[in-house]
Amino acid sequence: MLYGTRLRALSIATLVTMTAALALAFFYAPMDADQGFMQKIFYIHVPLGIVALCGFVWGGINGIQHLRTRDPKYDLRSYVAIHLSLVLGAGVLITGSIWARASWGHWWVWDEPTLVSFLIVFLLYATYQPMRFSIEDREKQARYASVFAVTAGAFVPLNFIAVRLAQAYTHPRVFATADGGLPAKMQLPFYLSLLGMALLYVTLWRYEMASKNTSWQLRALRRKLAGDDAVPPVGRTAAPTLPSS
């Protein structure tokens, strides 16, 4: 599969959508009476969260494919999906913290179950790269990473349920989000932002896939043309390696 095609079109689409979404969020959407301007971070925070979680699940799906077919390309797809989602996840936690400060006055709260379960998921996926790095055998590394991706992917909904149950009846949800009922004027910027984040994720994913694929193909060509000794051996790395033939 060629990942490098349509990158320019995707990048432009992302830029346009995100700009439109942010513009709408700032100028069109209503200002929250209690929380003020900071509440608008909701338009970034929630879409980031949704896309990050979908990314983790996409990583898990590619993990299943890798285990079934043993084709290393699925391992690369899974790796890129997870590590992008982790980056987005850091963004979710930071924007979530800002939002908490705006809503409740504290930089972190345990009241919001979605944020809390996201923290747990983030902590879990943060072990993905160290685990990969500490297994030297490439094939084993890829296989174990896929098992991890599938397990963690299945864990996400389970964790969400458990944390929700733990909070229910003690701290009712204070504000409506995408699955609740959004007031009309908030819907457009929100969904546009969600689309923009999704486009951002897909674009970044394709960029990274194209980049990694190209460097492996280049390496394989070098080895074929100039012999095994022309390329330095790959040191220990957490990133997947693709076979050279």
Partner 1 sequence: MAAPPAAIELEGLTRRYGERVALQDVTLTVPAGTTLVVFGPNGAGKSTLLRVLATLLRPHSGVVRVLGRALPDDGWAVRGRIGLLTHEPLLYRDLSGRENLRFHARLHGVAFDRVEELLERVGLRLRADDRVHTYSRGMVQRLAVCRAVLHDPDVLLLDEPRANLDPAAADLVEPLIGAASGRTRVVTSHDPAGGLAEADIALGLRGGRTAFVAPVDHVRNAEIGALYR
Partner 2 sequence: MTTRAELPHTESPAGPTRPPSDDPPFVPLRVAVAALLRKELGLELRAPQAVPAMSLFSITTLVVFHFALQRGQVDGDLASGVLWVTLLFAAMLGISRLFVADHEEGGLDGFLLAPTDRTAMLVAKAVGLFAFLAAVEVVAIPAFALMLLGPSPPIAAYGQLAALLVLADAGIALVGTMVGAMAVQTRTRDLIVPLMALPLLIPVVIGAAKGTAPLLATAGPHSVEVRWLFVLGLYDLVFGLLAFALFDYLIED
Q: Which residues bind partner 2 (CB under 8 A)?
A: 67, 120-121, 123-124, 126-127, 130-131, 134-137, 140, 143-144, 146-148, 150-152, 154-155, 158-159, 161-163, 165-166
Binding-site partner at residue 67 among partner 1, partner 2, none, CB < 5 to 8 Å by type: partner 2
Residue with tokens 């174990």: 144
We find the least distance from the C-beta atom of residue 103 to partner 1, in angstroms, to be 51
Task: Give the residue among 12, 44, 8 at the shortest CA–CA distance from 207.
Answer: 8
We find the least distance from the C-beta atom of residue 239 to partner 1, in angstroms, to be 13
* Euclidean distance between CA atoms 49 and 2, whole angstroms: 28
Residue 179 binds partner 1, judged by CB under 8 A: no
Binding-site partner at residue 159 among partner 2, partner 1, none, CB < 5 to 8 Å by type: partner 2
We find the least distance from the C-beta atom of residue 55 to partner 1, in angstroms, to be 28
Are 129 and 83 in contact by the 8 Å Cβ rule? The answer is yes
Between 109 and 120, name the residue whose CB sits nearer to partner 2: 120
Burial of 162 (0-12, 13-18, 19+ CB in 10 A): middle
Site for partner 1, residues 81 to 140, rule: CB under 8 A: 137-138
What are the residues whose beta carbons fall under 8 Å from the beta carbon of 202, sequence distance 6 or more? Answer: 10
Between 9 and 234, name the residue whose CB sits nearer to partner 1: 234
Between 30 and 243, name the residue whose CB sits nearer to partner 1: 243
Site string for partner 1, 220-239 (x = CB under 8 A): ---x----x----xx-----
Binding-site partner at residue 234 among partner 1, partner 2, none, CB < 5 to 8 Å by type: partner 1
Residue with tokens 């990942």: 3
* Euclidean distance between CA atoms 75 and 58, whole angstroms: 12
Q: Where are the alpha helices (DSSP H) in 168-183?
A: none
Q: Which residues of 218-237 are buried (b: 16+ CB within 10 A; e: fewer)?
A: ebeeeeeeeeeeeeeeeeee
How many residues lie near partner 1 (CB under 8 A)?
9
* Euclidean distance between CA atoms 212 and 208, whole angstroms: 6
We find the least distance from the C-beta atom of residue 138 to partner 1, in angstroms, to be 5
Helix (H, G, I), strand (E, B) or coil at 237: coil
State the residues that interact with partner 1 by CB under 8 A: 137-138, 223, 228, 233-234, 241, 243-244
